[in-house]
């Protein structure tokens, strides 16, 4: 198995180009630690608390919904991650093999917007966390500290991100386990097991949150598996990613649910965590802050790769250098800090609402990506064509993928239930956004039919002598 030499630079020297086989390194278990550690953070814990506070499920039904939703959605992120070793290129670049060289630009744009949105939201959250731990530090300085720290990690790149999360798995996993032990070792409220109950709307809403949570990572999962040896196969990366992503999020959601039930009804989520964990609370807050910063590096890294992919679409001979990635990271950092410093008090909730609305565009993309890779091309792509100016065998546009993509978006709109848009059929199950399910059910068979029909037409054309 190829190993990294001691002469390899600290800062990652690849951007959106193909990673040669001689430079492949790492093991599948690195994917477990990456996605497990990444998902033990305040945002999933706060979301888990919503299961009791907003959806009014009790402990048992809440845990079942959390587990089922993440286990279902985890299939998508794991299948996307398993593509990395075979392809050796970032996920958004790979989309050219499905949508065509220029056809992929739209989804690349949306992906970059989502990454930047999460980056801004997380540096605001990091700033608030720093102020909560050290009140004497001004909010603007706290935001800059969080932003600069995440940028430093993102600039160094792939290897450092994996190293941090290997350490983070033990630290964050141990801290969360200690938090569970502390809560259950102390007296619990009399209604801990009986508060809430079962309601179909709340249960389906919780399941949907789990599915959407996992799908939201799919546009950049193979970015962190593309350096693995090509002969590692599909199964091991799939299992490692699936277990890491689902276990990390299930534990975090469950911790938020337990903390909410262990404190008086109506207590704010992170306040509930502090109250429920006693002397351990401040330690958890510091660890959560560090994990916010580490996780946010992934958002910056993904944003940089997406923007470089967009630029490189129009400059096929250009191979971006380390300096380009560093400079672009600095530009994004500066712009995001300006937005974050001028953010309103409810900025995070507003931006998360926008991001969740944008997830409408990710569901049909994920559907097309997985159907194309696993059922149509069966993992065999012409890498050289992906980087050619005319798109090579994939062309500039693939109308079948583009048509399926837009239909996949349109059919979700009547069922969408977001803070920005509510469709006419959004309340078939009150409080639950089931648009993702409609998107999957329609886009997958539609694209499969269009793509296989295209293949049949090409075969007939060749037999009749209409093509070379």
Tell me, yes or no, whether 46 lies in a domain: yes
- State the pLDDT at residue 2: 38
Q: Residue 184 burial by CB count (10 A; 0-12/13-18/19+): exposed, middle or buried?
A: exposed
**What is the tally of structural domains in the chain?**
1
User: Residue 132: inside a domain, yes or no?
Assistant: yes
DSSP state of 372: I
Is 249 inside a domain boundary? Answer: yes
* pLDDT for 36: 92
Spatial CB neighbours of 35, under 8 Å, sequence gap ≥ 6? 77, 81, 217, 241, 244, 245, 248
Is 339 inside any structural domain? yes
pLDDT at 4: 40
- pLDDT number for residue 112: 86
The pLDDT value recorded for residue 352 is 60
On whether residue 417 sits in a domain, the answer given is: no
Q: What is the dihedral of CA 100, 405, 356, 147, to 10 degrees?
A: 0
| Alpha-carbon distances of 443 from 112, 117, 410, 449, rounded to whole Å | 23, 26, 10, 10
**Residue 291 belongs to a domain:** yes
| 383 lies in some domain | no
Phi, psi of 60 (to 5 degrees): -65, -50
Sign of the CA dihedral with 124 first, then 180, 213, and 241 last: positive
C-alpha 276/C-alpha 262 separation (Å) is 6
Domain with residue 231: its CATH number is 1.10.4160.10
| Cα(45)–Cα(295) distance, integer angstroms | 14
The answer as to whether 379 is a domain residue is no
pTM: 0.87
Domain range for residue 247? 21-343
End-to-end CA distance of the chain: 40
Q: Are 259 and 280 in contact (CB under 8 A)?
A: no
pLDDT (tens place) for every residue of the chain, 468 residues total? 334 444 455 566 667 778 888 888 888 999 999 899 888 888 888 889 989 998 999 999 999 999 999 999 999 999 999 999 999 988 888 999 999 999 998 888 888 888 888 888 888 888 888 888 888 888 889 888 888 888 888 777 667 777 777 888 888 889 999 999 999 999 999 999 999 999 988 999 899 889 988 988 888 888 889 889 999 989 999 999 999 999 999 999 999 999 999 999 888 888 888 899 999 988 988 888 888 888 888 888 888 888 888 888 888 777 777 777 788 888 888 888 888 887 666 665 666 666 667 778 889 999 999 999 999 999 999 999 998 989 899 999 999 999 999 999 999 999 888 777 888 888 777 767 788 899 999 999 999 999 988 666 655 554 555 544
What is the predicted pLDDT for the residue at 253?
95
Report the 10 Å Cβ neighbour count for 393.
Answer: 12
């Amino acid at each position: 198995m190829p190993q990294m030499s001691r002469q390899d630079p600290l800062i990652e020297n690849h951007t959106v180009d193909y990673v040669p086989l001689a430079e492949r390194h790492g093991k599948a278990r690195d994917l477990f630690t990456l996605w497990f550690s990444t998902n033990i953070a305040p945002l999933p814990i706060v979301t888990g608390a919503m299961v009791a506070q907003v959806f009014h499920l009790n402990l048992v039904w809440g845990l079942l919904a959390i587990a089922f939703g993440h286990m279902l959605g985890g299939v998508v992120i794991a299948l996307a991650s398993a593509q990395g070793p075979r392809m050796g290129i970032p996920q958004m670049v790979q989309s050219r093999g499905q949508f065509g060289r220029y056809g992929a630009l739209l989804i690349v744009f949306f992906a970059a917007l989502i990454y930047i949105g999460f980056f801004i939201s997380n540096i605001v959250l990091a700033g608030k966390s720093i102020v909560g731990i050290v009140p004497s530090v001004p909010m603007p300085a706290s935001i800059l500290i969080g932003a600069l720290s995440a940028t430093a990690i993102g600039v160094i790149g792939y290897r450092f991100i994996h190293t941090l999360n290997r350490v983070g798995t033990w630290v964050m996993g141990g801290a969360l386990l200690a938090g569970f032990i502390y809560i259950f070792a102390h007296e619990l409220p009399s209604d801990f097991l009986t508060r809430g109950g079962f309601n179909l709307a709340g249960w389906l809403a919780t399941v949907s949150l789990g599915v959407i949570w996992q799908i939201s990572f799919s546009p950049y999962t193979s970015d962190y598996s593309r350096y693995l040896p090509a002969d590692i196969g599909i199964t091991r990366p799939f299992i490692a990613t699936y277990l890491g992503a689902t276990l990390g999020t299930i534990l975090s959601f469950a911790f938020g649910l337990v903390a909410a039930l262990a404190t008086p009804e109506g207590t704010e989520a992170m306040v509930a965590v502090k109250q429920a964990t006693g002397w351990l609370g401040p330690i958890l807050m510091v660890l959560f802050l560090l994990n916010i910063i580490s996780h946010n590096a992934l958002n910056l890294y993904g944003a940089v790769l997406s923007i470089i992919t967009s630029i490189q679409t129009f400059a096929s001979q250009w191979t971006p250098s380390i300096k380009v990635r560093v400079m672009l990271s600095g530009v994004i950092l500066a712009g995001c800090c300006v937005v974050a410093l001028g953010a309103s008090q409810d900025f995070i909730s507003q931006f998360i609402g926008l991001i969740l609305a944008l997830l409408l565009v990710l569901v049909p993309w994920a559907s097309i990506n997985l159907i194309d890779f696993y059922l149509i091309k069966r993992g065999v792509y012409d890498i050289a064509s992906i980087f050619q100016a005319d798109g090579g065998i994939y062309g500039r546009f693939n109308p079948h993928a583009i048509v399926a993509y837009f239909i996949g978006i349109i059919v979700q709109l009547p069922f969408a239930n977001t803070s920005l848009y509510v469709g006419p059929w959004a309340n078939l199950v009150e409080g639950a956004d089931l648009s993702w399910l409609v998107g999957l059910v329609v886009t997958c068979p539609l694209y499969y039919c269009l793509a296989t029909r295209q293949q049949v037409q090409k075969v007939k054309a060749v037999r009749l002598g209409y093509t070379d």
